[in-house]
Amino acid sequence: MLDSTITRFIHEQQERITGTDPHIAFSEEEYASRLARLQRAMAEDGIDTLVLSSPEAQNWLHGLALRWYKANGPRDWRPLTCTVVRVDAGYILFEGIEHAEMIRRTSVARDVRLLPRYERDGMLGFIVKEISAAGWVAGATVGLELFSAIPNPAVSRMVEGALMTAGGRVVDATLTSRRVRLVKSPAELEAVKRAAEICDAGLLHLASVLRPGMTELEAHGELIRGLSAAGGEPAGLHQVAFVGLAALGVYHEISGHRVITEDDFLDVDPCGVFKRYHANRSQLYAFREPPRGAVELMRVLTGGFEILTERARPGVRIGDVNAELYAYYRDAGVFELNSSVWIGGYEMGIAFPPDWVGEWKFTVVGGEDDDRVFEAGTVANFESMCGIGLLDTFVIEEERTSLLSKLPHEILVVGR
């Protein structure tokens, strides 16, 4: 017989949890606008039914935010959290009952269909049965996000097979899902700009406490402390702090136990995160006045940003800006010094682990044939790289293109 005091405790805590106000990121009107944009894209692409499996797409559409999507768990715990959208109707969110409270807290989804915890092995059949009963599968073109990390390849094949057996024609609709997120709404731009402020705050906090003798992990911890104190959320990638120069082959290092000495450079590459929107900005720290060569190199790398913000305007051909940037870096001689680096940028926005790299990108080297044009509302980082990696996030608006970080592009001397 269960102790009544235990029963009372559980009931009291349950009431306390369910009495918590939701923390939904945006307004009902914002999410309704996003649904309309997605359905227009579906109609343009000939998609009748779209299965959104990526955390980013579902978060964008209705706000769901979890820290675990069963991406790499036991084989019978299949990653099937998904939102199924109909081009001429609404959408259905499918999940397990264990996440009912998280859905209430973070999502505006109204048609939510849940399976009991111990019936999750029947989730795929449940999903296909429900959307088939609605007339969303048989004879329909059904799109999947085949380039999403979730679900994994084995489960993706199961989903595709089940939909085809139910009479659907399955196609890849990754770009249908992703391209609607490229141009940000005013509410999204506000979130990204707040993320950039958070990133700056984290970098400044690290500057105030960084000292020789700390390990990379301790520096990383202080970086996270500063970001968190400013309201930053966990990022989609490891927010690295490491000894060395980024573009000399160690940019994807993981912070470790190496002790930082007064002769070292410490490079960090974080994102500020707000409402799951990311803004990227790198910073190089030193404990002594940097050599003249480092200062001159930083000046060259900074010049790339000046060209970008001046030339990357709405309607301007991307290839023309790439050509101008390439000529600048070529004339500065940086390619001859460090030809393995990548100079370019990629879309910033909603991101969940394991990545914050968006779909849209531009590449300076060899990119003069890119006939796309820049669009207002686009947010991307730019990586100006040669030995030193200098990264910042920019936003293209109708009246201007500007960098979101307010910190100067220079090596920051600290610990004195």
Q: Is 132 exposed, middle or buried (0-12, 13-18, 19+ CB in 10 A)?
A: middle
Query: Which residue type occupies 34?
Result: R
Q: Is the pLDDT of residue 109 over 90?
A: yes
Of 252, 303, 277, 267, the C-alpha closest to 197 is: 277
Question: Does the pLDDT value for residue 251 go beyond 90?
Answer: no
pLDDT band at 1 (very low <50, low <70, confident <90, very high): low
Q: Calculate the alpha carbon distances from 385 to 128, 286, 298, 304, 379 in Å.
A: 48, 18, 10, 10, 19
Q: What is the mean pLDDT of the chain?
A: 95
Domain residue spans of the chain: 4-179, 186-413
pLDDT of residue 416: 66
Average pLDDT over residues 123-149: 97
Q: Which of 4-13, 157-166, 192-201 has the lowest mean pLDDT?
A: 4-13
The CATH fold assigned to 4-179 is: Creatine Amidinohydrolase; Chain A, domain 1 (3.40.350)
User: Amino acid letter at 119?
Assistant: E
The Cα–Cα gap between 128 and 131 comes to 5
The answer to whether residue 287 scores a pLDDT higher than 90 is yes
Q: At 101, list the tokens.
A: 């409270």
Instruction: Tell me the pLDDT tens digit for each residue of 370-392.
Output: 999 999 999 999 999 988 999 99
Predicted confidence band at 413 (pLDDT cuts at 50, 70, 90)? very high
**186-209 vs 216-229: helix crossing angle, rounded to 10:** 130
Which of 385, 386, 391 is CA-nearest to residue 403? 391
Residue 74: CA atoms inside 13 Å, Cβ hemisphere, count?
4
For 186-413, give the CATH class. alpha beta
Percent of residues, the chain, with pLDDT higher than 70: 99
- Do 186-413 and 4-179 have the same topology in CATH? no
C-alpha distance from residue 37 to each of 57, 83, 181, 245, 414 (Å) = 13, 16, 9, 42, 47
Split at pLDDT 50, 70, 90, the class of 192 is very high
Three-class secondary structure assignment of the chain: CCCHHHHHHHHHHHHHHHCCCCCCCCCHHHHHHHHHHHHHHHHHHCCCEEEECCHHHHHHHHCCCCCCCCCCCCCCCCCCCEEEEECCCCEEEEEEHHHHHHHHHHCCCCCEEEECHHHHHHHHHHHHHHHHHCCCCCCCEEEECCCCCCCCHHHHHHHHHHHHHCCCEEEECHHHHHHCCCCCCHHHHHHHHHHHHHHHHHHHHHHHHCCCCCEHHHHHHHHHHHHHHCCCCCCCCCCEEEECCHHHCCCCCCCCCCECCCCCEEEEECEEEECCEEEECCEEEECCCCCHHHHHHHHHHHHHHHHHHHHCCCCCEHHHHHHHHHHHHHHHCHHHHCCCCCCEEEECCECCCCCCCCCCEEECCCCCCCCCECCCCCEEEEEEEECEEEEEEEEECCCCEEECCCCCCCCEECCC
* pLDDT digits 0-9 by tens, 303-342: 999 999 999 999 999 999 999 999 999 999 877 776 678 8
